[in-house]
Structure 1
Amino acid sequence: MQEIQPDGRYTYIYADQDSYEPLAQVQDLTTEDGESCQQTHYFHCDQIGIPREMTDKDGKLLWFGNYTGWGRLKEETKVTDSAYQPFRLQNQYADRETGLHYNFFRYYEPDAGRFVNQDPIGLEGGKNFYSYSSNTTKWIDIHRIMC
């Protein structure tokens, strides 16, 4: 995945081709002197793929966060102002403008612990079309279409 922000272009590298666990973030930016440079930051995820820390190439801590059971970032510490970490629960992308988390097929509201869109697979995902999961620390559905 790649995105462009005011402070540069971010490219994300994942643990493997079938994984949605972020491994690294490569930032292409322009320095105050007008020179192009590249910085690589590394994600440190927990057992279910949620980013807990981000470090630079030397292992220096840049960012760390703690989440509620439903994925809302309850505490975030940016050791440097340049740290940018947009991921939440397994590859949920945090939208700064809405506060929602984007999954590939629908949006998730972390304060409510529910999706705002119906489950695209209908009843195969359960009777409640908007539920997330009854066990957020054990069950994983990287596409968010089964639980």
Structure 2
Amino acid sequence: MTYLFAGFLVVRRIECPEALPEGAAWREISKPFIGTGVRLPEFLGKSPSAEDVFAMAERLGLRRSDAWLYLTYDCWGGQIDFVYGLGSKDHIPFGPVEEDARDRVIDVYCALMQELGVSRLDALNFEPFKRGFWGER
């Protein structure tokens, strides 16, 4: 079974803007950190440019946070198949990084999540990636 995510994870609660992109889901995250998540279906399975990611983060008001991550995450049968991410920590940009090699993709994913202070254990059992969190079926 496939699980796909594309969007932002932010270590800060941010008020939802009045207008979201088509089909976007805005959720509060309570563990493993207190923050905000935004799922963007338009980016599913894609590696958007850093310029597009930073522009969307600005549009959504996410760049006010000290730590945010844009992530494209594809999983098949419980195995992470692909990850692409970039973001900002302490207002210093990092990434983009992209990986689909089976022997490296988990480490790259965990390194990206660590930028948000998420441990490897919590990253591999990430609450917002449990089915239904974003309202998807």
TM-score (norm 2): 0.32
Greater Rg by CA:
1
**Which of 1 and 2 has higher RCO (CA within 8 Å, sep 6+)?**
2
TM-score (norm 1): 0.30
Which structure: greater helix fraction?
Answer: 2
